[in-house]
Structure 1
Amino acid sequence: MKNIVSTEESSPQRWGFKMDDFLKKGSCVTVRSLLTDIKSNINPADSRSLIPLGHGDPSSFPCFQTTPVAVEAIESALRSSKFNGYSPSAGIPLARKAIADYLSKDLKDKLSSDDVYLTIGCIQAIEVILSVLSSRPNANILLPKPGFPYYEVRASHAHLEVRHFDLMPEKNWEVDLDAVEALADENTVAIVIINPGNPCGNVFTYQHLNRIAETARKLGILIIADEVYNHLVFGNNPFISMGNFGSIAPVITVGSISKRWLVPGWRLGWLVTNDPQGILKKHGGAIPQILERTNEDFFLKTVDILRECANICYDSLKNVPCITCPTKPEGSMFVMVKLDVSMLEDIIDDMDFCMKLAKEESVMILPGVALGLKNWLRVTFSIEPACLVDGLGRLNEFCIRHAKKK
Structure 2
Amino acid sequence: MSSSSAKPSLKTRERLSEVRYEIRGELARRARELEAQGRKQIKLNIGNPGAFGFRAPEHLQRAIADRIADTDPYTHQQGLPAAREAIAAFHRQRGTPNASPERVFVGNGVSELIDLSLRALLNPGDEVLLPSPDYPLWSAATILNDGRPVYYRCRAENGFLPDPDEIAQLVSSRTRAIVLINPNNPTGATYSREILERIVAIAAKHNLLLMADEIYDHILYDDATFEPLAPLAGDIPCLSFGGLSKVHRACGWRVGWAVLSGDPLRSGDFHHAMDLLGALRLCANVPGQFAIDAALHGTDTISALTAAGGRLYETRRALIDCCDASEHLQLVAPAGALYGFPAVVGDAAKGFDDHAFALEMLETEDVLIVPGSSFNVPERNHFRVTLLPEAPVLREVFARIERVLQRRADAAASTRVAVA
Asked whether 1:169 is paired with 2:156, we answer yes
Query: 1 or 2 for the larger relative contact order (CA 8 Å, sep ≥6)?
Result: 1
- Superposed, 1:166-315 pairs within 5 Å as 166-247=153-234, 249-276=236-263, 278-281=265-268, 286-291=290-295, 294-296=298-300, 298-304=301-307, 305-315=311-321
- Superposed, 1:2-21 pairs within 5 Å as none
The number of equivalent residue pairs is 377
Instruction: Specify the alignment match of 2:384 in structure 1.
Output: 378
Instruction: Specify the alignment match of 2:43 in structure 1.
Output: 52
Deviations 1:221-262 (A, max 9, x none): 111000011111113331111111221632111121110100
Asked whether 1:399 is paired with 2:391, we answer no
Q: How far apart in 2 are the matches of 1:38 and 1:328?
A: 30
- Per the TM alignment, residue 162 of structure 1 is displaced from its structure 2 partner at its CA by 1.4
Q: How far apart in 1 are the matches of 2:296 and 2:145?
A: 37
Moved over 4 A (4+): 40-47, 282-285
Residue 382 to residue 156, structure 1, CA distance change in 2 (3 Å): same
Q: How far apart in 2 are the matches of 1:175 and 1:398?
A: 32
Residues 189 and 222, structure 1, Cα contact 8 Å, conserved in 2? yes
Q: How far apart in 1 are the matches of 2:164 and 2:349?
A: 35
Residue 35 to residue 249, structure 1, CA distance change in 2 (3 Å): farther
Letter in 1 for 2:363: K
Residues 90 and 297, structure 2, Cα contact 8 Å, conserved in 1? no
Deviations 1:341-366 (A, max 9, x none): 85268x75000000001111111111
Structure 2 residue corresponding to 1:149, chosen from 121, 126, 136: 136
SS where residue 302 of structure 2 aligns? helix
- Superposed, 1:105-116 pairs within 5 Å as 105-107=93-95, 109=97, 111-116=99-104
Aligned-pair identity in percent equals 23
Instruction: Specify the alignment match of 1:8 in structure 2.
Output: none
Residue 83 to residue 43, structure 1, CA distance change in 2 (3 Å): closer
Residue 127 to residue 344, structure 1, CA distance change in 2 (3 Å): closer
Residue 24 to residue 36, structure 1, CA distance change in 2 (3 Å): closer
* TM-score, normalised via structure 1 length: 0.86
Q: How far apart in 1 are the matches of 2:22 and 2:358?
A: 16
Structure 1: gaps spanning 5 or more residues: 1-22
Instruction: Specify the alignment match of 2:334 in structure 1.
Output: 329
* TM-score, normalised via structure 2 length: 0.83
Structure 2: gaps spanning 5 or more residues: 1-14, 272-288, 414-420
Higher normalized helix content (fraction of residues): 2
Q: How far apart in 2 are the matches of 1:371 and 1:93?
A: 36
Letter in 1 for 2:67: A
RMSD: 2.4
Q: How far apart in 2 are the matches of 1:375 and 1:280?
A: 41
Instruction: Specify the alignment match of 1:7 in structure 2.
Output: none
- Superposed, 1:343-354 pairs within 5 Å as 343=348, 348-354=352-358
Instruction: Specify the alignment match of 2:24 in structure 1.
Output: 32
Letter in 1 for 2:48: D
- Per the TM alignment, residue 71 of structure 1 is displaced from its structure 2 partner at its CA by 1.1
